[in-house]
Amino acid sequence: MTSSIPYIRDFKFVYGKAERISANVRRLTANNPGPFTGWGTNVYLVGESELAIIDPGPDTDDHFEVLLKAVGTKSVSNIFVTHHHRDHSPMAPRLGEHFKCQTIGFGSPLNSANAQAGGFEEADHADFVPDVIAQDKQVFTGDGWWIKCLHTPGHTSNHMCYAVIPDNGLICGDHVLAWSTSVVIPPDGNMADYMSSLALVKQQNFAELWPGHGPAITDPKPFLEAYIQHRMLRDQQILLQLQTGPKTIKQLVPIIYADIDIKLYPAASISMLSHLIRLCQIGQVKCDGKPGLGRIWSLAQDYTVQD
């Protein structure tokens, strides 16, 4: 089993400039770079004379002015959000009020507070509730465009991707990133759901994936296959380490994530927790109490690791 993800880390863009990436879509990158946002949050403008804006990004005055300039004299009919994290949705209410249009999203997360997220960009924009609660497979139409909603829980319980039908492209938020894996933060993030959602997107045969951060994925099928294999390999690495005896996440991370910068250990710890919770759910692992970062983990009594 291999986890060699064909990462794409060459991303050419200019802050403040909306660049056309397909017949109906332009991409603008917000100036909010960071360890988890990469170059910044990608904002997508769909349509020509009447626009839909997807993931408007952080609520700052500078970014607001950049968005107004990108819209220009066009109208805005809808503002979509992929999920409720504070690098994606905070600008939505302000922009909706300015353009007198509705915000659209899947709705509130199952767990309104991500206690594990700490000070990461992945922490919640907890008070955001969209004006319109979109349903899985629901289609919205505008001036020459059709957007189909695809519920993809995992990164968050309310994560929604948006397929731009004429272009066969998927605006995929934080579900899939070209330059990195996506963090799954319990309790709202769920690794079992995430694996199912990855398989669902793979089945759709999109021509391109347009993530919430960084460059496009122009050959989705092999990329998604490698993404899925990577997660399966992480499971196997964890099980092999627990075969030698009980361990904490603090002990496991430096071994399994030996190739990453130590500054990313907090994110790696959270990702490992999500893997361990899933392994508990399927009966392969147990811990000494309610699953959490400080617990001691071991193989389930009747489970044998397969080589």
CATH number at 220 reads 3.60.15.10
Q: For residue 307, what pLDDT band results from cuts at 50, 70 and 90?
A: low
The answer to whether position 9 is within a domain reads no
176 and 207 assigned to the same domain: yes
Global confidence as pTM: 0.92
132 and 266 assigned to the same domain: no
Query: Of 107, 86, 89, 284, whose CA–CA distance to 185 is shortest?
Result: 86
| pLDDT of 116 above 60 | no
The answer to whether position 263 is within a domain reads yes
Q: For residue 35, what pLDDT band results from cuts at 50, 70 and 90?
A: confident
Looking up tokens 């064909």 gives: 6
The answer to whether position 3 is within a domain reads no
206 and 244 assigned to the same domain: no
In this structure, the dihedral spanned by the alpha carbons of residues 102, 105, 110 and 113, taken in order and rounded to 10 degrees, is -70
The CATH number covering residue 267 comes to 1.10.10.10
The angle, 0 to 180 degrees and rounded to 10, between the axes of the packed helices 191-203 and 220-242 is: 150
Rounded CA-CA distance 256/276 in Å is 13
Rounded CA-CA distance 304/104 in Å is 46
Query: What confidence score (pLDDT) does residue 118 get?
Result: 45
Q: For residue 126, what pLDDT band results from cuts at 50, 70 and 90?
A: low
Query: What confidence score (pLDDT) does residue 123 get?
Result: 56
Q: For residue 122, what pLDDT band results from cuts at 50, 70 and 90?
A: low
Give the β-pairing of 42-46 and 50-54: antiparallel
Query: What confidence score (pLDDT) does residue 111 get?
Result: 72
Query: What confidence score (pLDDT) does residue 125 get?
Result: 55
Min mean pLDDT across 88-97, 104-113, 222-231 is at 104-113
Enumerate the H helices of the chain as residue ranges.
Answer: 61-71, 91-99, 191-203, 220-242, 249-256, 265-281
| pLDDT of 284 above 70 | yes
